[in-house]
Amino acid sequence: MDLESKYLKLKEHFKNARVIESCAELLGWDERTKMPAGGADLRALQNTALSKLHHELVTDSWLGDALHELAAESSNFPPDSDICVNLREWLRVFTRANKIPVSLVEELSKTLVYSQQAWQDARSQNNFSLFETWLEKIINLKRQEAKCLANGHASYDALLDDYEPGATSLELDSIFYPLKDSIIKVLNSCSKENQRSVILGNYPEQRQKIFSEIVAGYCGFDFNAGRLDTTAHPFCCGIGPGDCRITTRFNPADFSTGLFGVLHEAGHGLYEQGLDPDHFGLPTGTAVSLGIHESQSRLLENQVGRSLEFWRFIYPLAVKFFPAQLANIPLQDFHKAINQVQPGFIRVDADEVTYNLHIVFRYELEKDLLSKKLSIKDLPGAWNTKMEAYLGLTPKNDAMGCLQDIHWSAGLFGYFPTYLLGNLYAAQFVAKAKKVIGWNNNALNVDILFELRQWLKKNIHIQGKRFLPGKLCENITGEKLDKKYFEQYLFQKFNP
């Protein structure tokens, strides 16, 4: 076989694996939005069957030789060419998957089903001890996984690399710790007065849904290739070309909860809808990392969605949709209300400033758990100490404290930092965008949103995994990731 045929064979194989994965994604969307409660056991069978099949496909024994052979034959191609990028990423996936023994994969997958159940019980009964032994089991398995990946060393970075290729804890430490201090400074200077209550009222869900769809459409989310549904914990599901589904939850007393949920997920959705459909199933047609993905959601939710220049255009429509609630509230007061900074216990409800502190201490804690510096039984105490130090609050119980997030119970260690990386990337991208397109502090109308979207698509979405996240950032902004852009954004917005 010539090089072209070998490459084609691999492309078909991995695309087929991606098609199977896309079926699983639809099942996942359904599970969280439509599935009747009674369908849970069958869904577990379906998920197991599809993920087993997917795993078999990406670890198929002929792949190793085929990939290495093709890599050797294409070594004189430019490293950013389609073939080299796809080979690099296929080898990455194949190597990762083959480093972990099947027995560990099965053990983890079985444990996670029960640990998530235990976490749910622990949270609803507000009893950490119900989760403690499961957390210990998961951490032991994740340490084993890290050891397999990092040649015997139980390294946090080996897990982090799965979500943010190329990132290291050394680099994150050097960014997050000084950033923490400047964020606490911003927080302390924010007004303590309650500015949010003015917009509380009665917002019928059906009207909220229509309004949210209009705003998401205004921002470019394509409803011919997607849809909006409600769920308990909002997410975006990029099933594949032409089918990307976003979700939110509506609060009848406050329409901004649902709307910002929609904008956040629509930011993820624009990324998915902006990927190259001709590269579907290939690394060159797949989002580069969780951090960059989160930058797109944060950018639309915060830099765009919580800006005064955006609401200059949207607010009149909001008033028409909800006249009884908003007609007497001036734009400036509305803008203050949606930007209220207020320390709270729950990460997912946090504002733009305090959110980052939630992430920093989770990052610190999960590193310490993996390195055994922190023992499992001491987690609730350590959590509460951090909350007091960073946010000045003491959780009343573990359900509002260390039991609030699903991540650890789902085996996701090294995932939290990507949320904060997303904020940093978003600020750096926006600083650049403002220099090259017509977006300034006076106007963010539909034309400029269009320009912004084209710019993001050209520079980020359509690139897929062509460059590692750090390199992508340099290509776009001319600089490595630098926390100063996010600091400047927060200083300008909250200390005017």
Contacting range for a copy of itself; rule: CB under 8 A; set: 48-56, 336-344, 381-389, 465-473: 48-56
240 or 469: CB nearest a copy of itself = 240
Task: Determine if 41 is a binding residue for a copy of itself (CB under 8 A).
Answer: yes
* Residue 322 C-beta: closest distance to a copy of itself, Å: 21
Residue of the chain from 223, 333, 371, 479 that contacts a copy of itself (CB under 8 A): 223
Question: In this chain, which of 220, 226, 274, 285 binds a copy of itself, going by CB under 8 A?
Answer: 226
Q: Under the criterion CB under 8 A, does residue 153 sit at the interface with a copy of itself?
A: no
| Annotated active-site residue in 21, 145, 164, 265 | 265
Q: Which is nearer to a copy of itself, 19 or 84 (CB)?
A: 19
Among 5, 61, 188, 224, binds a copy of itself (CB under 8 A): 224
Per CB under 8 A, which region of 21-29, 187-195, 294-302, 456-464 contacts a copy of itself?
Answer: 21-29
232 versus 327: smaller Cβ distance to a copy of itself: 232
Residue 40 within binding range of a copy of itself, rule CB under 8 A:
yes
Residue (208 or 423) nearer to a copy of itself, CB: 208
- Say whether residue 241 binds a copy of itself (CB under 8 A): yes
The CA dihedral of 104, 110, 112, 113, to the nearest 10 degrees, is 170
Q: Does 222 bind a copy of itself (CB under 8 A)?
A: yes
Nearest CA-CA partner of 353 in 189, 476, 475:
189
**Binds a copy of itself by CB under 8 A, chosen from 6, 19, 109, 130:** 19
How distant, in Å, are the alpha carbons of 290, 424, 464 from that of 89?
15, 25, 11
Residue 40 beta carbon to a copy of itself: minimum distance, rounded to whole angstroms: 7
- Angle formed by the axes of helices 129-149 and 354-370, nearest 10°: 70
Q: How far is the CB of 42 from a copy of itself (least distance, A)?
A: 4
Asked if residue 237 binds a copy of itself (CB under 8 A), the reply is no
Indicate if 352 belongs to the active site. Answer: no
Q: How far is the CB of 492 from a copy of itself (least distance, A)?
A: 38
What's the Cα-to-Cα distance from 320 to each of 166, 168, 263, 314, 323, rounded to whole Å? 48, 49, 20, 10, 5
Radius of gyration of the chain (CA): 23
Closest approach, Cβ 326 to a copy of itself, in A, equals 26
**Amino acid at position 291, single letter:** G
Instruction: Compare residues 55 and 99 and give the one whose CB is closer to a copy of itself.
Output: 55
Binding of residue 317 to a copy of itself (CB under 8 A): no
Q: Is 460 within 8 Å of 296 (Cβ atoms)?
A: yes
Shortest distance (Å) from residue 406 CB to a copy of itself: 23
Which residues are known catalytic residues? Answer: 265
Contacts to a copy of itself by CB under 8 A: 16, 19-20, 22-23, 26-27, 30, 34-43, 45-46, 49-50, 53, 222-227, 239-243, 245, 280
